[in-house]
Amino acid sequence: MIMEILHLLAHIPLFRGLDELELDKISQLLIRRHFAEKTGLFWQGELLTTVYFIVSGKVKIYRNDESGREQVVTVLQEGDMFPHVGFFSTGLYPAHAVMIEEGEMLTLSTERFRQLIESTPTLCLKLLAVIEQKYMELQARLAEMVMHDTRGRLVLMLIRLSRLHGEPAEGAQGTRTRLNIPITNQELANMIGTSRETVNRTLNQLKRDGVVETALDLHLILDVEKLEQLL
């Protein structure tokens, strides 16, 4: 089992570059778990007890505002860890986490993760880099909310999703990118802070312009180059 976990650690950027002794120590603490699609991993406001590392599958992170409306924070995939807060205090999960496709995780209690960070300087530096990256992404999204109208925010979100979850679209005209995650118009609306009706209208216009199309499996296919030209 430990050898299997050592192999799986290669999927997690946070653990790359650690020496054999460090990896061996970590592998003895991690628990390998499988989760079905639509499984809730934790809920906003629950006591934060576990850190997750994605080996396979995708996870939607979202919050609910005061009116109960869902606000999608991000979609995480292979190699990502979450949450990114609460390691050094007794905190609460800041959002909900739900599997949007079947997947496998390595999990670790927050107490043991904190001990690892304190005893492994290389891991501590890597974690700081991850947190810094997430902070920069948040700042970029806040700037987009201020500087762009709804159409611009949707275009930027589609470009971001293509970079995180895109793959070459087979059979599509030209060089196009297919999103490998299922995403609804309501979820897109939740990501950019607008209504589903507004996203419907904007996407329909982008489809008429030949920038976006919907595949038979309902995944979006994007002409990223043309999307970038719209900004």
Q: Which residue has the higher pLDDT, 139 or 48?
A: 48
Mean pLDDT across the stretch 10-31? 84
Task: Please check whether residue 133 is in contact with residue 125, taking contact to mean a CB–CB distance below 8 angstroms.
Answer: no
Angstrom distance (rounded) from CA 165 to CA 64: 24
Q: Which residue has the higher pLDDT, 195 or 133?
A: 195
With a cut of 60, say whether residue 97 has pLDDT above it: yes
Domain boundaries, the chain: 1-129, 150-230
Angstrom distance (rounded) from CA 85 to CA 218: 34
What pLDDT, in 10s, does the model give residues 200-229? 999 999 999 999 988 877 789 999 989 988
| pLDDT at 171 (0 to 100) | 58
Domain boundaries 1-129, CATH class: mainly beta
| pLDDT at 197 (0 to 100) | 93
Average pLDDT of the chain is 86
Asked if the domains at 1-129 and 150-230 fall in one CATH topology, the answer is no
- Least confident among 37-51, 107-121, 161-175: 161-175
| pLDDT at 2 (0 to 100) | 65
With a cut of 70, say whether residue 132 has pLDDT above it: yes
Per-residue pLDDT band for 174 (boundaries 50, 70, 90) equals low
CATH, domain 150-230, list 1.20.1420.20, 1.10.10.10, 3.40.1390.10, 3.40.50.261: 1.10.10.10
Flag whether the pTM goes above 0.85. Answer: no
Angstrom distance (rounded) from CA 16 to CA 10: 7
With a cut of 70, say whether residue 1 has pLDDT above it: no
With a cut of 80, say whether residue 38 has pLDDT above it: yes
Per-residue pLDDT band for 20 (boundaries 50, 70, 90) equals confident
Per-residue pLDDT band for 172 (boundaries 50, 70, 90) equals low
DSSP 8-48: HGGG-GGGTT--HHHHHHHHTT-EEEEE-TT-EEE-TTSB-
Q: Record the tokens describing residue 111, joined without a space.
A: 């107490």
With a cut of 90, say whether residue 170 has pLDDT above it: no
With a cut of 70, say whether residue 54 has pLDDT above it: yes
